């Protein structure tokens, strides 16, 4: 489905990003794996991706740093020659009620989750516009659509990503580049591993499908959006949340 394409996936050493990278590789895409610090995990993802017969390389890069992202994107372009697909998936949480939330915890979540997506879109926009079917896919969250107590920083960053998605969809449409967002609900990854028993019980009762989702279920939607099957979809937000928010 993605044969011959090159995809850059941020936050691909673990969780949802890893599932996306491997599913893209399985579908024929070369993959550039971006990670923050977990080098061993990123290299393992590369080895697994290469087992599908595609090219894979890992790049350590802080998505929040405009200059680091530029250097990394320049390296990726030199290594892969072209980039067709960008998946802005890197994300962090620093939850607290607003009354207790520190300024630094607001700023860092916005910097990684929202500015990180701007940084990669900015520095990869030229090769993506040169692609015959460029794709930008931003991993938002239902938290950004419904608001979640204790997530003022995270919800704001994920709502911001939806605005960024719709704007890029309009700006790049003339170049046949589509830009869409995927909004997962509760997905089993390291990010949700620390959920309290009460939060898990809430999830079980609030989610119509009565379970947390798997990273692979998000990856399926991302691969669909990256493929030609989604050629007439742009500026859209697709929830993958078991019906949590509707």
Q: Which of 22, 54, 112, 225 binds ligand NAP (CB under 6 A)?
A: 112
Q: Which of 5, 6, 7, 13 binds ligand NAP (CB under 6 A)?
A: 13
The answer to whether 91 contacts ligand NAP (rule: CB under 6 A) is yes
Is 35 tagged catalytic?
no
The answer to whether 164 contacts ligand NAP (rule: CB under 6 A) is no
If one counts every other C-beta atom within 10 angstroms of the C-beta of residue 168, the result is 24
Q: Which of 9, 92, 124, 223 binds ligand NAP (CB under 6 A)?
A: 92
By residue count, the chain amounts to 246
Q: Which residues, at least 6 apart from 223, have a Cβ–Cβ distance to it below 8 Å?
A: 1, 2, 20, 23, 24, 27
Q: How many helices (H) and strands (E) does the chain have?
A: 10, 7
Q: Which of 5, 6, 9, 10 binds ligand NAP (CB under 6 A)?
A: 10
Q: Which of 35, 52, 59, 154 is catalytic?
A: 154
Q: How far from 239 is each of 62, 75, 121, 136, 182, CA to CA, in Å?
A: 27, 33, 22, 16, 6
The answer to whether 64 contacts ligand NAP (rule: CB under 6 A) is yes
Distance CA(180)–CA(87), nearest Å, equals 10
Catalytic residues: 154
Interacting residue ranges for ligand NAP, rule: CB under 6 A:
10-17, 34-38, 41, 61-64, 89-92, 112-113, 139, 141, 184, 186-187, 189-192
């Amino acid at each position: 489905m993605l044969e011959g394409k090159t995809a850059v996936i941020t936050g691909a050493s673990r969780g949802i990003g890893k599932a996306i990278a491997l599913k893209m590789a399985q579908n024929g895409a070369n993959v550039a794996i971006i990670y923050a610090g977990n080098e061993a995990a990123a290299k393992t993802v590369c080895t697994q991706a290469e087992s599908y017969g595609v090219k894979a390389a890992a790049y350590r890069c802080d998505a929040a740093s405009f200059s680091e992202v530029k250097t990394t994107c320049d390296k990726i372009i030199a290594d892969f020659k072209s980039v067709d697909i960008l998946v802005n998936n890197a994300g962090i949480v620093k939850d607290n009620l607003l009354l207790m939330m520190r300024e630094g915890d607001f700023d860092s979540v916005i910097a990684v989750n929202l500015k990180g997506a701007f940084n990669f879109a900015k520095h990869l926009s030229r090769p993506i516009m040169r692609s015959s079917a460029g794709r930008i896919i931003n991993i938002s969250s239902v938290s950004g659509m419904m608001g979640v107590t204790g997530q003022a920083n995270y919800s704001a960053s994920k709502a911001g990503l939806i605005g960024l998605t719709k704007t890029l969809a309009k700006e790049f449409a003339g170049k046949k580049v589509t830009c869409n967002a995927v909004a997962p609900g509760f997905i089993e990854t390291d990010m949700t591993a620390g959920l309290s028993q009460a939060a898990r019980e809430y999830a079980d009762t609030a989610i119509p499908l009565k379970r947390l989702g798997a990273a692979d279920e998000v990856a399926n939607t991302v691969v669909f959006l990256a493929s030609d099957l989604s050629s007439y979809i742009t500026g859209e937000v697709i929830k993958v949340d078991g019906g949590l928010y509707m």
